[in-house]
Amino acid sequence: MRTSQTNILSFFGIKKREEIWDNEKYPRYIKIWQNLYSNNLTKNFKIEFQKKFSLKKFKEFFPSRESFDIKKAISITKELRWRKEPYDKQHWGHWLHSLSPYQGRLTPSFVHWLIRAFSSPDMTILDPFCGSGTVPLEADLLNRKGIGSDLNPYAYLISMGKFDRRPLNDHLDYLKNISDDVVSNNKSIDNIPDWIKAYFHEKTLKEILYLNEKLNDEKQYFLHACLMGILHGNRPGYLSVYTGCIIPMKPRPKTHPKFRPDKDIPEYRATIPRMAAKVMRMFSNKIPLKTKGIILNEDARELKSLKKDSIDVIISSPPYYNTLDYTSQNRVRLFFLGLNRENQDLLKEKLIQNSQTYLDEMKKVGIQLKRVLIPEGYIIFILGDVIRTKSFINTAERVGEIYKDIGFETLDIIKDEIPLNKVASRSKKKKFDRIIIMKND
C-alpha cells in the first residue's frame, strides 16, 4: 500500500516533482529524472563514455572437448595476449564487468584469454573465489557454462547481479514506479552509526536505506548491485561525499587541515536518476537475456551444491596470503548488506586471508576441487608473489606442492609481470602474477 506522502506526490503531479527536482544540484540528473518519468530516457539520454565491445563470433581454438589440446592451451597462454591491443585497454570488455567496484578483481581481458585457451563451448567452468563474478560472466559471454561461488555477501551480490537478466525497460520501469516512494520515505536514521552518516546527506541516506531494503526483499539483484556500485566514489554520479569508489577513505572532518567544503560536506544526491544512469551504462552493450550461469554463496572449502565430477575446468584467483583485506575495504557496502563492524570481523575470520593458516586452508579447498573436477580436468590459478622486507614467497610454487599431495600434477607456471601503474604500492620492484596450470591425475 502506498503511503499518504506518496498520494500527496501523485495529487500534485509534475508541480510537486519539480519542487523535488529543485533539491538536486546537478542538471544532468534532473534531466535524467524528467526523462525517466516521461518514458524518454532511452531516446534522450546520451551515454558519454560508451565502451567499444563486440560479442561477434571469433575463431575457436577448441570447438569441442575432443579437440582440446593442453600443450596448445599453455602455448597460447604464454603469448600473454591480454597485454596486447586492444585487450590492454583499461576498460576493455563488456560493461557488466563494471557493475560494482571490487578490490583485486581479475581483468576481463585476462580472464577472456584464459577461458579461450583452456576450454571449449561445451565445458563447465568454475571459479570458487569468484569475487565480482568476472570468470563466470566472461564464460557466459563466451558460450560456456560459468559457475561462481563466494562466501563474501558483497561479492555474491555483484555476481548475482550480472546474471539477473531482464530487459532494460523492465529495470527503468521499476525505478520509475518506485521513485515517489523513495523520495517521500521517512526512514529513521537514529540507529545508523555516525561513521556511516559521515558519508551521506541525511535525505540521500534515507533513500539509500529504503532502496536497499526494497531491492533486497524483492530479489532485484541487478538493481541492488547497481546501488552498491554508485554508493560511494569521487564523482557527482556517486551518492557519497568525495571518497574512493573502491576503498571508502574516511571523510575529512572540519578540523582537518585539508578539509574542503565542496568535497567533504555531504550534499543531497538523488538516488533514482543516478540509478537510472547506472542502468543505462550497463546496457551500453547488448546483454544476453538467456544464461546458463550459476552463482553460489558457498565456502570454497565446502562446495555443497556441486556434484562429484561436475566441473571441466577451474579458473580462479584465490586470496594472496594476507595481502588484501576483503572486509574492511568493503566496509561501507557490507554495512548496507547487513554486516555491522562486529559481523564484518566474524566474516574476516571465515575468509582465507590469514598468512599463518593460508596453506592449510588452501589444502581444504584443493580437496573439494579434487571432488568436483572431472578426471584429467584442469585447474588454472592466478597467484601473486608476496614480497616483504626480508622475505619472498612464491605462492604458486607453495600451492603446487600441497596440491601434488592431493593428486594434482603441476604442468607449468607462467610468469606475468604486473605493469608498475597497476601495482598498488609505490615500490619500484617488479611484481608478478603467476599462472599455475595443474592437471587432475
Residues 24 and 171 in one domain: yes
Name the residue with higher pLDDT: 65 or 432.
65
Question: Mean pLDDT of all residues in the chain?
Answer: 90
- Structure confidence at residue 23 (pLDDT): 87
Q: Which of 237, 264, 282 is the last residue of a domain?
A: 282
Q: What is the pLDDT of residues 329-387, one digit of tens each?
A: 999 999 999 999 999 999 988 988 788 899 999 999 999 999 999 999 999 999 988 87
Q: What is the pLDDT of residue 1?
A: 40
What is the pLDDT, as a whole number, of residue 109?
96
Cβ atoms 86, 58 nearer than 8 A: no
pTM over 0.75: yes
Q: Are residues 318 and 333 in the same domain?
A: yes
Whether the per-residue pLDDT at 48 is higher than 90: the answer is: no
pLDDT computed for residue 42 by the predictor: 87
For 236-255, the pLDDT digits (tens) are 999 999 999 999 999 998 99
For residue 269, the model assigns a pLDDT of 97
Identify the weakest region by mean pLDDT among 42-51, 98-107, 248-257, 305-314.
42-51
- In a domain, residue 243? The reply is no
How many other CB atoms are found less than 10 A from the CB of residue 410? 17
Same domain (yes/no): 264, 295: no
Domain range enclosing 208: 4-46+166-217+250-282
Average pLDDT, integer, range 54-69:
86
- Co-location of 87 and 39 in the same domain: no
Whether residues 271 and 294 share a domain: the answer is no
Pairwise CA distance, residues 437 & 118, whole Å: 10
Residue the block writes with cell 562446495:
303
Within a domain: residue 421? yes
> Domain check: are 334 and 423 in the same one?
yes
Residue 239 located in a structural domain: no
Q: Report the run of H or E that residue 161 belongs to, with start and end.
A: helix 153-162
Q: How many domains does the chain have?
A: 2
The predicted pLDDT at position 22 comes to: 77
**What is the model's pLDDT at position 387?**
77
Domain edge (last residue) among 282, 303, 338:
282
Q: Given this model, what pLDDT does residue 7 score?
A: 47
Together in a domain, 322 and 342: yes
- Write the pLDDT tens digit of every residue in 414-440: 999 877 655 555 556 677 889 999 999
Strand partners, 242: 233
Residues 334, 208 share a domain: no
Give domain status of residue 13, yes or no: yes
Residues 364 and 322 reside in one and the same domain:
yes
Cα distance between residue 285 and residue 272, in whole Å: 22
Residue 348 is assigned to a structural domain of this protein: yes
Name the residue among 77, 60, 51, 50 with its Cα closest to residue 142: 60
On the 0-12 / 13-18 / 19+ scale of CB atoms within 10 A, 22 is exposed
pLDDT of residue 110: 96
Instruction: Choose from 84-93, 98-107, 235-244 the range with maximum mean pLDDT.
Output: 235-244
State the pLDDT confidence band at 391, using cuts at 50, 70 and 90.
confident
Asked if residue 76 belongs to a domain, the reply is: yes
Do 345 and 407 have their domain in common? Answer: yes
Domain co-membership, 136 together with 175 = no
Q: According to the 3-state scheme, what is the secondary structure of 351-400?
A: CCCCCCCHHHHHHHHHHHHHHHEEEEEEEEEEEECEECCCCEECHHHHHH
Q: What is the pLDDT of residue 44?
A: 59
pLDDT per position as a tens digit, 20-45: 777 899 999 999 999 999 998 888 55
Shared domain for 428 and 294, answered yes or no, is: yes
The CATH number assigned to the domain holding 155 equals 3.40.50.150
